Structure 1
């Protein structure tokens, strides 16, 4: 298992010793859960050949991808093509998304914004929960909305509002998105400067925003 081919990190620099320890825990089975991990199209793992699904863009020019890997205490350890020697792609997909589904992520309703904005943040896979239809269906229900705007500008962040909100609230929602996109203070890696359109619990489109 090539160290520099496997670990692309959580945005912080870890020593080779810690990284090797994480890998040994995976080999021993101490760490054994695979998760889907959202990454921007220019993520270093794309060129390194990490296993991925392209969500937005093309295979040649991806804008947003889902990588697959183990969540260790110090790094993400990403799956590479040779990991398919032991598991079928369909098995990896099912395992990863089943594990994501089991992660609890509760919505908070903003009283300040007239109960028209939901947040579900501060947990490692808060952003990835956009890939869970059951999670998004709950947002439809809470907002009583058929169509949603979903903001996941950085890891561990999610904000949602109805597509039918008035212009003033939508402008406020955009300001919150932009602030989070530009806020480096929490060390959460950027994902995508865009709003996702979600219908019936599934991503139907994406509105790119200016950097």
Structure 2
């Protein structure tokens, strides 16, 4: 579990009565499942649709100390709130982060986890460009399974490296002890400028121990393995990728 030591808990509340100055407290985007209970109240923008149905959306949070409050359509009619809201892209672009190379994974995976809006750094073009530079690649595979969790590797990694990456992705998704709200079981593909696709992988990886030996087990209905007992993960990602809708809704990931 040491790999995820930076995943600290923070209680995330549903939209509440406005008790903060929404014209002054900084606004940050949050990626939420479309079935989040507050979606009908909060101001939202589409992030991903699958088969014409909303899957993920952006809502806009303000820190109220021990919880978050969310911008509503009614809030935007209050003096100064729209102007404050319009700064959300700048706020996530300048949100502090620290890229860490995972030595245990041969420095081929980076994390930037542990902060309230770590996962949403993927909305910043400058951050994606820095991640590409750190991994010496022009295409990224991104894992944001839970709040405060962000893990990235290069799209071009070999079978063993990507298998380790996906194993850690599913571990974070499944392990409720982390305490942070789930975001998505999918991974995402990006270049140095923006997220381009979401990818439902079509399989899960579990790690089991028996007689002191650990074994990876795949859960899937598909025949994944090739004759060399490896998986062409790039082929799976290309087959299953779905364009994100965020950039068709007037949202920008500019610097």
Is the pair's TM-score, using the shorter chain for normalization, greater than 0.5? Answer: yes
Alignment check: 8 A CA contact 1:110 1:118 kept: yes
Report the counterpart of residue 103 of structure 1 in structure 2.
95
Q: Deviations over 1:102-157 (max 9, x none)?
A: 21111100111111100111111110101111111100000010110000000000
- Measure how far apart 1:38 and its partner are: 1.2
Q: Secondary structure at the match of 1:181?
A: helix
Using the size of structure 2 for normalisation, the TM-score is 0.69
User: Does residue 25 of structure 1 match 2:29?
Assistant: no
Report the counterpart of residue 156 of structure 2 in structure 1.
164
Report the counterpart of residue 109 of structure 2 in structure 1.
117
- Measure how far apart 1:58 and its partner are: 6.5
- Measure how far apart 1:88 and its partner are: 9.2
User: Does residue 42 of structure 1 match 2:35?
Assistant: yes
User: Does residue 81 of structure 1 match 2:76?
Assistant: no
Query: What is the CA RMSD across the aligned residues, in angstroms?
Result: 2.6
Superposed counterparts of 1:121-200, under 5 Å: 121-200=113-192
Q: Deviations over 1:37-75 (max 9, x none)?
A: 1111211122x2311111101797211111012111122
Uncovered stretches (5+) of structure 1, i.e. residues with no partner:
1-8, 14-18
Return closer, same or farther for 1:12/1:36 CA change in 2, 3 Å cut-off.
closer
Using the size of structure 1 for normalisation, the TM-score is 0.82
Q: Secondary structure at the match of 2:195?
A: strand
- Runs of 4+ more than 6 Å apart: 87-90
Report the count of equivalent residues.
193
Uncovered stretches (5+) of structure 2, i.e. residues with no partner:
1-9, 205-255
- Measure how far apart 1:12 and its partner are: 6.0
Alignment check: 8 A CA contact 1:121 1:157 kept: yes
Higher helix share: 1
Pair member with larger Rg: 2
Q: Secondary structure at the match of 2:148?
A: coil
